[in-house]
Structure 1
Amino acid sequence: RNLLDMDTFSKSDPVVVLFVQGSGSSEWKEFGRTEVIDNTLNPDFVRKFVLDYYFEEKQNLRFDPPGSHGAVLGVQDFLGQAFVALGEVIGSQRGRLERPLTGVPGKRCGTILLLAEELSNCRDIVTMQLCANKLDKKDFFGKSDPFLVFYRSNEDGTFTICHKTEVVKNTLNPVWQPFTIPVRALCNGDYDRTVKIDVYDWDRDGSHDFIGEFATSYRELSRAQSQFTVYEVGRGAGAGGRGPPHTGANPPLRPQVLNPRKKCKKKKYVNSGTVTLLSFSVESEFTFVDYIRGGTQLNFTVAIDFTASNGECRRCWGGGGLHRPGRGAGADGRCAAGMPSQPTSLHYASPYQLSAYALALKAVGEIIQDYDSDKLFPAYGFGAKLPPDGKISHQFPLNNNVDNPSCAGIEGVLESYLQSLRTVQLYGPTNFAPVINQVAGTAAQVTDGSQYHVLLIITDGVISDMLQTKEAIVTASALPMSIIIVGVGPAEFEAMEELDGDEVRLSSRGRYAERDIVQFVPFRDYVDDSGNQVLSMARLAKDVLAEIPEQLLSYMKTRDIKPRQADP
């Protein structure tokens, strides 16, 4: 809108060139161009750019709207440019973002309007239930133990397994439990593609006996919605044997399960049983982007470890270990207040490089902030003695404002973190529960899906209040929140792995976590010898944030919360 007019006798002929910057890279690559629109300063471009979106990555975009004169972009054609992260567009209201164009000294270059939409691409999921009747008997001393195997047909004529039902023991008339499968897994979005279903008799040694097969398609299955309808299939091999569903006054035929070998050997062979579709329903699967476009805000909170095990402070020199006191330390071995000046301290920052704490904070925070409209982030410290009375605190605001612990942007959090290092005394112990309960209390106030909280804990050591922390996480798992833990330093982090809950579901006093809400990574795994700090931190952010969309969706699904419709 309101572009610069670069032509003498008419208006500009604008075109927009999109450049993308790879994660962890400083190089810009041209992704594509819009069409040229002649003689206008307020163009509406039709051509769209289709980008892969990853919540956990910083996907930087640059839009250059030069004039159309010349194949090569020249200075005479330059109308301005805009920089934006893809997450900013998606996280803006209704996925619509307006940015000023800049780059021409002394000129107002106008604005660029960006709109992001998620391609639907077959997001439906199907729930169906089947039963069978008079299947072949395969076991010598009993009836069959039947189960179904579903295959999706591929473009090259081969088949890929996409689902197996449970085994129903000792029956020729099984009723299988309802199951859910994405439509894209069942037919790759092609409603007429063949779906082959094999029927097997389960054997303990894995050599399952083939009972028979039949074929259908998603379209045929979907016609049976809300009806007790069966359809005839399997008159011949392959898709040609399918028949349409039978409805109306005539009695429906049951789908026949055929065994080709038996059919060839026995002239009187009819079938190996029939299968009935008991129910079939379809619903849309909501995505992370649906909720963000519907107005769900991600609220980011930071908690930083200020315990003495992080290392020596300004007046604590000498020694070399992370726990060893030097001159300036108290008689109890704790660090006195002051900025860390020894490289052995995990809070140490040189003039050329941030500390591990600051690096982890920037890597994660700069991505999440795109989904928070006010860019105000509560930030706490734990495990320090506070001035003036030396009281130990496990949830003190980094900005020293108890009533409003929020900092303006990630840079504001970093400033408050560095200021706290100058004023507090690193001490201990390492308690997580207070800050987890603090954020959980805030999350419990709004549970309608409009707010989701992400707590980032950066720590160096062993948790001192493990039992209380497990209890706090189990309670928080029922709330709209996730917890990211980044472990810095050389310590072993077995306790963090337990909290992560990927292998064993977290429990406390007989209660199990409703959801897996914790993601842990050790910082050292992302520090390589190449010296490419930008790439290393991009990898860190990608791994710690990858589970956030699924964790948000799991909360919404368990509470049956649907995305709000974006205002027009």
Structure 2
Amino acid sequence: RNLLDMDTFSKSDPVVVLFVQGSGSSEWKEFGRTEVIDNTLNPDFVRKFVLDYYFEEKQNLRFDVGLLAMPSALGGSNLLSISPCPMGTRRRGVPGKRCGTILLLAEELSNCRDIVTMQLCANKLDKKDFFGKSDPFLVFYRSNEDGTFTICHKTEVVKNTLNPVWQPFTIPVRALCNGDYDRTVKIDVYDWDRDGRQHPCAVGPAASLTLPPRTQLNFTVAIDFTASNGMPSQPTSLHYASPYQLSAYALALKAVGEIIQDYDSDKLFPAYRLRAVVPLQAPVPVPQNNNADNPSCAGIEGVLESYLQSLRTVQLYGPTNFAPVINQVAGTAAQVTDGSQYHVLLIITDGVISDMLQTKEAIVTASALPMSIIIVGVGPAEFEAMEELDGDEVRVSSRGRYAERDIVQFVPFRDYVDDSGNQVLSMARLAKDVLAEIPEQLLSYMKTRDIKPRRTDP
């Protein structure tokens, strides 16, 4: 929308080219490009891009909007705007330049393989041309699951008639309604002009959907500061960071946090300690920034900075209690249960736990709320207690009550350490496995409460 006008005697003829960046690579490769739309600063492109999407991986995309000199190469074009962004985020234009806005809409594709063939005609359309009749064509819009409409097909133009008959065409049902035959398809009739402008000749009916706001993901971190980790200043400590590499705690935090922060709009993350010597009146759990009224840190870098600062200023202590921080996040999650908020708690620990019974009780209670728990184990421990909390084999129970959903995912960090010492590769492997269950856990909460997909504002 509102692209720069690069033509002298008319408007721009834009095209969008999608580039993808491989994991661990700095090279951008062209994935595909849309059709060119003549003489407009507000194009609606019909051609779609189909990509494999992985919640647990960072997949960088770049959208170049250009005015092509030739359809076969972007090199002869005037570049209007570039928008690199990770999948799962939305970015507008280029900072410092008013290039316009790129609107992206993504939806998981169904497995429907049906196709539909149709032929349409119209009668007594409006006369739009001064010296002739009209040059009508049809535009089809699919109804998305969030209530918006997206262009999905254009017919050919039939010249100089008010009673057009368009050629038969075949379209995948997945493109028309994503396999959902109950969705509305809107059809508009436009008059074509040589200058690229189009005037409505007739407009078809469309359903109006009113849905609540989209789901917001909220991320909370809890890091084990108990004495069982060893003194941070000693190389034998799990918190020890050499001048050349981060500690396992910091690597786990960055690996998970840098992926999940793309799904949190405000990038403010509450961070807690489990547990260090603190004043007797300090709250439990203890905020890393020692601010009980506002325990949030700005971005993952803020959490990491707060963690490193805590290592320099606090003394590691015990016991290792998980229940307080789980109950803290559960209390926040219980305030909004309509699906507009979902919470993810990351606990990084050496595996020693002092309140197993209370933790099981907290997990059973939290399983009925919009939240998930990720536990990353660092160090050489066997982690039997953490495996028990995971609940993959046997659902967690407490006092005769079983967890309503499996909301805990545990992984030992040592299983993802690259043998060559490549920390970037270790972090990517960890993030991929530890976040893999979050989408299904979120969906399980929505489905058990019959919560429908949410509307997204452009």
TM-score (norm 1): 0.55
Distance 1:556 1:503 in 2: 23
CA contact (8 A) 1:88 1:370 kept: no
- Aligned pair in 2 of structure 1 residues 460, 185: CA closer, same or farther (>3 Å)? farther
Distance 2:67 2:154 in 1: 56
**2:256 paired residue number:** 364
Task: After TM superposition, give the deviation of residue 14 of structure 1 in Å.
Answer: 3.3
Distance 2:135 2:18 in 1: 58
Task: After TM superposition, give the deviation of residue 509 of structure 1 in Å.
Answer: 2.1
Q: 1:309 is paired with a residue of what secondary structure?
A: helix
Distance 2:77 2:114 in 1: 27
Render the CA deviation track for 1:305-348: whole Å, top value 9, x for unaligned.
Answer: 001222xxxxxxxxxxxxxxxxxxxxxxxxxxx99343332222
Distance 1:471 1:535 in 2: 36
Task: After TM superposition, give the deviation of residue 447 of structure 1 in Å.
Answer: 1.7
Task: After TM superposition, give the deviation of residue 29 of structure 1 in Å.
Answer: 2.1
**1:417 paired residue number:** 307
Structure 1 position 164 matched with structure 2 position 154: yes
CA contact (8 A) 2:21 2:27 kept: yes
- Aligned pair in 2 of structure 1 residues 74, 349: CA closer, same or farther (>3 Å)? farther
Task: After TM superposition, give the deviation of residue 32 of structure 1 in Å.
Answer: 0.9
CA contact (8 A) 2:110 2:179 kept: no
CA contact (8 A) 1:3 1:79 kept: no
Structure 2, unaligned runs of 5 or more: 80-92
Render the CA deviation track for 1:415-456: whole Å, top value 9, x for unaligned.
Answer: 221222222111112111111111111112222222111110
CA contact (8 A) 2:189 2:203 kept: no
CA contact (8 A) 2:232 2:240 kept: yes
CA contact (8 A) 2:211 2:454 kept: no
- Aligned pair in 2 of structure 1 residues 405, 150: CA closer, same or farther (>3 Å)? closer
**1:503 paired residue number:** 393
CA contact (8 A) 1:452 1:481 kept: yes
Task: After TM superposition, give the deviation of residue 187 of structure 1 in Å.
Answer: 18
CA contact (8 A) 1:20 1:29 kept: yes
Q: 1:437 is paired with a residue of what secondary structure?
A: helix
Q: 1:386 is paired with a residue of what secondary structure?
A: coil
CA contact (8 A) 1:88 1:371 kept: no
**2:265 paired residue number:** 373
CA contact (8 A) 2:251 2:427 kept: yes
Distance 2:13 2:157 in 1: 66
Distance 2:8 2:40 in 1: 13
Task: After TM superposition, give the deviation of residue 535 of structure 1 in Å.
Answer: 2.6
CA contact (8 A) 2:188 2:204 kept: no
Task: After TM superposition, give the deviation of residue 402 of structure 1 in Å.
Answer: 0.4
Distance 1:3 1:255 in 2: 29
Q: Report which stretch shifted further, 353-362 or 517-526.
A: 353-362
CA contact (8 A) 1:387 1:423 kept: no
Distance 1:203 1:38 in 2: 11
Q: How does 1:44-83 map to 2 (within 5 A)?
A: 44-64=44-64
Task: After TM superposition, give the deviation of residue 5 of structure 1 in Å.
Answer: 5.2
Task: After TM superposition, give the deviation of residue 558 of structure 1 in Å.
Answer: 2.3
Task: After TM superposition, give the deviation of residue 193 of structure 1 in Å.
Answer: 23
CA contact (8 A) 2:227 2:317 kept: yes
Distance 1:15 1:146 in 2: 23
CA contact (8 A) 1:149 1:197 kept: yes
Task: After TM superposition, give the deviation of residue 490 of structure 1 in Å.
Answer: 1.3
Distance 2:73 2:192 in 1: 70
Q: Report which stretch shifted further, 162-171 or 33-42.
A: 162-171
Task: After TM superposition, give the deviation of residue 118 of structure 1 in Å.
Answer: 3.1
- Aligned pair in 2 of structure 1 residues 155, 447: CA closer, same or farther (>3 Å)? closer
CA contact (8 A) 2:138 2:189 kept: yes
Task: After TM superposition, give the deviation of residue 176 of structure 1 in Å.
Answer: 50
- Aligned pair in 2 of structure 1 residues 374, 504: CA closer, same or farther (>3 Å)? same
- Aligned pair in 2 of structure 1 residues 251, 50: CA closer, same or farther (>3 Å)? closer
- Aligned pair in 2 of structure 1 residues 161, 462: CA closer, same or farther (>3 Å)? farther
Aligned length: 440
CA contact (8 A) 2:17 2:30 kept: yes
Task: After TM superposition, give the deviation of residue 8 of structure 1 in Å.
Answer: 6.1
CA contact (8 A) 1:339 1:421 kept: no
Distance 2:128 2:41 in 1: 77
Larger Rg: 1
CA contact (8 A) 1:89 1:115 kept: no
TM-score (norm 2): 0.67
Q: How does 1:351-500 map to 2 (within 5 A)?
A: 351-386=243-278, 397-500=287-390
CA contact (8 A) 1:25 1:534 kept: no
- Aligned pair in 2 of structure 1 residues 409, 77: CA closer, same or farther (>3 Å)? farther
CA contact (8 A) 2:184 2:207 kept: no
Task: After TM superposition, give the deviation of residue 205 of structure 1 in Å.
Answer: 77
Distance 1:469 1:104 in 2: 47
Render the CA deviation track for 1:116-147: whole Å, top value 9, x for unaligned.
Answer: 23334449999999999999999999999999
Q: How does 1:245-256 map to 2 (within 5 A)?
A: none
CA contact (8 A) 1:342 1:348 kept: yes
- Aligned pair in 2 of structure 1 residues 485, 17: CA closer, same or farther (>3 Å)? same
Distance 2:44 2:203 in 1: 57
Structure 1, unaligned runs of 5 or more: 65-70, 81-86, 91-102, 207-245, 262-295, 311-337
Q: 2:348 is paired with a residue of what secondary structure?
A: strand
- Aligned pair in 2 of structure 1 residues 174, 370: CA closer, same or farther (>3 Å)? closer
